[in-house]
Amino acid sequence: MEEHVTTVNKYVEKLIDFGIEYAPKLVGGIIVLIIGLWFTKIITKAVGKSLEKSKIDQSLVPFLKSLTNIALKALVFVTVMGMIGIQMTSFVAILGAAGLAVGMALSGTLQNFAGGVIILILKPFKIGDFIEAQGFTGTVKEISIFSTMLNTADKKLVIIPNGPLSTGALINYSAEPTRRVDWTFGIAYGDDVQNFKRAINDFIAQDERILKDPAPFVGLAALADSSVNFTVRVWVDGPDYWNVFFDMNEKVYTQFANYNLNIPFPQMDMHFIKEK
C-alpha cells in the first residue's frame, strides 16, 4: 500500500513539475495565438481593401486575400509551436518533402496557376481583346486562374493553358486604338502609274473610316515578273480594320477598269524560231 502511494506521489510530482515548466509556455502560446489570429484578420482585411482600390484585376483579389491569410496563419501557428517547445526541424522537413512531392505531381497545373497570376497582374491582354497566341487567333472571352478562353472568328471556343500563354510570344491587336492596313496591288506593265495613284487616292477619299493622320502612303514596291507592284498603307480605328481591308480589295477588283488599269496575272511569252 505504501509503495502504491509512493508511486502515485511521484507521478503527481512529475505532473506538477511538468505543469510548472510548461504552463507559462502554454499560456504564452495561447495568448500569442489569439493575438496573432486577430492581427491576421485585420491585416487580411487591409490587404483586401488595398487590392480592391488598386489596378489589379478584381478576379485576382479573393485569391490574394486568401493567400495572405493562409501565409499569416501559418506564421502564427509555427511561432506558437516554437514557443510551446515543439521541435520544428523534423516538422519542417516533413512539410518540405510533402511540398516537393506535391509540386512534382502538379508541376503542369502549378505552371498554369503561376501563369494565370502573372497574366492577371501584368495584364498583357484583357477580356474583349483580339489576340494571337499559341497558334490561335480570337477574342478573349474569359481569363481564369488556370486557362484563357478565346472565341475565334468562326465561333470556336479555344481554351489555352496559362502557363505557355504567359511565357510565349503573343500579339494583342487591340492594345492600340488604331491599326495600319497594308495592301500590295499590282498593275500590268504599260499601265499608267498616275492612273493607279489617282484610283487609290479616290478609293481612300471615299472611305470615311480611313484616318487622315497619319497620312495614307502609296509607293512602288517592286517590278515583278508579271506585274508592277505597289504598296498601299492607311490607318484606321482598330474595329474598322477588316471591313476597310475587304472593301478596298473589292473596289480595286471592280473599279480598276474605270481607270484604264489591268489586274495582271502570271504569263509567259513563247517565241518560236523556224529553222531553215
pLDDT surpassing 80 at residue 17: no
pLDDT value of residue 240 = 93
pLDDT value of residue 65 = 74
pLDDT value of residue 8 = 56
Element (H, E) at 35: helix 2-53
pLDDT value of residue 276 = 61
Lowest mean pLDDT among 20-29, 68-77, 205-214, 252-261: 20-29
SS3 256: helix
Give the residue among 245, 260, 244 at the shortest CA–CA distance from 196: 260
Give per-residue pLDDT as tens, 246-271: 999 999 999 999 999 998 877 666 76
Q: What is the DSSP string of 98-156?
A: HHHHHHHHTHHHHHHHHHHHHHHHH-SS-TT-EEEETTEEEEEEEE-SSEEEEE-TTS-
Given a contact cutoff of 8 angstroms between Cβ atoms, the answer to whether 218 and 263 are in contact is: no
Cα Dmax for the chain: 146
Provide the grid cell at 49.
481593401
Residue with cell 497594308: 182
Which residues make beta-bridge pairs with 242?
Answer: none
Given a contact cutoff of 8 angstroms between Cβ atoms, the answer to whether 244 and 207 are in contact is: yes
Pair type for strands 178-187 and 228-237 = antiparallel
